[in-house]
Amino acid sequence: MKPTLISALALASALALAPAARAAEPAPLPPKEWIDKDTGHRVVRLSEEPGSSSAYFNINAFTPDGKYLVFSAPSGIQAMDLKTRALTTVVPGRAGLLFVGRKTGLVYYMQNAGSSTMGHDANSPHTPGAAAKPAPAADGRGGPRAVMAIDIATKTARQIALLEPGGAIESINADETLLAGARTTGPSAVPSPGGMLTNKDPGDEVGPDGQKLTYAEGREVQIHRRLMAKIPMEIFTVDTKTGARKVVTASTDWLNHLQFSPTDPNLLMYCHEGNWHIVDRLWLVRLDSDKPPVNIHVRTMNMEIAGHEWFSSDGKTVWYDLQTPRGEDFWVAGYNVETGKRTQYHLDRNSWGVHFNSSPDGKLFSSDGGDSEMAAHAPDGKYIYLLRPRDIPDVAGIHAEGSDKLIKPGVLDPEKLVNMQPHNYRSEPNAAFTPDGKWLVFRSNLFGAG
């Protein structure tokens, strides 16, 4: 049965602009909304500016009352009323959107930082046709930056913290008392935590045989280069009222993707970044305990990969992309943070996505698809998908002894929502459900690279 309530809201991350040789000609405006002729679903363009971008898939961009969606645009940080679709400029000019507080609805951002989002961004210098961004300073660290919070209604802003060079804030906890970030702690010459040690297009990397690699393979080479640098790093928290700073953990592993639980203010998830088949990626740590961080997924076969993790809305489950092995068998896997019980939903190659997500009520999943160069090598994977979980029951109700301690199996049945064939997946769509569960918001360059 086709769900009439699930449709798509597209943020134009890279709408077509006239090429340089035709700069005087105005670019034709893309449609404001349309019915996808292949899926029958309604698609609505939300942004008005080319180069706009939604938040990374696991970052909260909605106010707690469900009224506003917050996103980045070239002109500044904007908030959209999801009922009327009216746009409000929250922070004009260059500002880096961080996230929206789940308790207060304040918009947190970096002052005097370039507008940016996590993941492969549509405005990457490695997007064909995009103007290259200037190379980072030699030390890769820059100067101090202020973490700010602003009220959408009153436009009242205040400074929350001042970050020293080499650090980045990535998450805020459920009651907005703590920020969490990662920073490099080595000599001033080391790059920032997310640096790849190169400003080279991944598609220009070459393999051991001297042949050019695909974009996806080139990224693996660059990620491995950064991982093997063994740069000292630490994860830290900042008290939003006092500014007090505390180190959570430190290592020479590449620490990244910090995410607080949406419900438990003392539970923090992070990853050991790197090539997924060689790192132990998924970690949980409690801030109200002296116990060490816990690795929540242990590889059982060579080339098994797990990553792009996120919390369910109720905070009870960590979900993630699991492949056993990479590129061959695909799952959305879940780990219950209270009981340790596991769930694995199987899906086919085409409905795999760069990122998955779950609806606020936990009854649905989404996939943002992928092109044929990516891990799944999907021949027909360029769609935004709705995924319905279907449990695999015991035959005739006959239970195996100890089955309650085994992985709970299931299948994800896909439905295509948006045909993304024109989309360049160097910009990841990063689909996310709206708070009412009726729409998916995603980034798109369906009308050309800008």
Output the pLDDT for position 27: 60
Kindly list the strands in the beta sheet with 87-92, ordered across the sheet, starting from the edge strand earlier in the chain.
68-73, 76-81, 87-92
| Contacts of residue 290, Cβ cutoff 8 Å, sequence gap at least 6 | none
Q: In whole angstroms, what separates CA 33 from the centre of its chain?
A: 25
Least confident range of 97-106, 163-172, 255-264, 312-321: 163-172
Output the pLDDT for position 174: 98
Percentage of the residues of the chain whose pLDDT score is greater than 90: 71
CA distance 412 to 365: 8
User: 143-171, pLDDT tens digit by residue?
Assistant: 678 999 999 999 999 999 999 888 899 99
User: 54-68, pLDDT tens digit by residue?
Assistant: 999 999 999 999 999
User: What is the mean predicted confidence (pLDDT) over 417-421?
Assistant: 97
List, in sequence order, every beta strand (DSSP E) within 231-379: 233-239, 245-251, 254-260, 267-273, 282-286, 294-295, 305-311, 317-323, 330-336, 342-347, 356-358, 365-367
Torsion sign (Cα): 417, 423, 425, 426: negative
User: What is the mean predicted confidence (pLDDT) over 197-218?
Assistant: 82
Confidence of residue 186 (pLDDT cuts 50, 70, 90): confident
Percentage of the residues of the chain whose pLDDT score is greater than 70: 83
Output the pLDDT for position 142: 56
Kindly list the strands in the beta sheet with 305-311, ordered across the sheet, starting from the edge strand earlier in the chain.
305-311, 317-323, 330-336, 342-347, 408-419, 383-391, 365-367, 356-358
User: 234-251, pLDDT tens digit by residue?
Assistant: 999 999 999 999 999 999
Q: Which helix (H) or strand (E) holds 197?
A: none
216-224: which pairs have CB atoms within 8 A and are 24 or more residues apart?
A: 216/373, 216/374, 216/375, 217/373, 220/275, 222/196, 222/197, 222/198, 223/196, 223/273, 223/274, 223/275, 224/274, 224/275
The bridge status of strand 7-12 relative to strand 439-444 is parallel
Output the pLDDT for position 115: 40
269-276: which pairs have CB atoms within 8 A and are 24 or more residues apart?
A: 269/309, 269/311, 269/318, 270/182, 270/235, 271/307, 271/309, 273/223, 273/226, 273/227, 274/223, 274/224, 274/226, 274/227, 275/220, 275/223, 275/224, 275/227, 276/305, 276/306, 276/307, 276/326
CA distance 405 to 256: 31
Output the pLDDT for position 199: 60
Position 298 pLDDT exceeds 50: yes
CA distance 243 to 377: 46
Kindly report the average pLDDT of the chain as a whole number: 87
Output the pLDDT for position 137: 39
The pTM of this model reads 0.88
Output the pLDDT for position 103: 98
Position 411 pLDDT exceeds 50: yes
Kindly list the strands in the beta sheet with 33-35, ordered across the sheet, starting from the edge strand earlier in the chain.
33-35, 42-45, 7-12, 439-444, 432-433
User: 301-330, pLDDT tens digit by residue?
Assistant: 999 999 999 999 999 999 999 999 999 999
User: What is the mean predicted confidence (pLDDT) over 430-450?
Assistant: 88
Nearest to 18 by CA among 47, 50, 54, 44: 50
User: 108-149, pLDDT tens digit by residue?
Assistant: 999 864 444 444 443 343 333 333 343 343 334 456 789 999
The bridge status of strand 342-347 relative to strand 408-419 is parallel
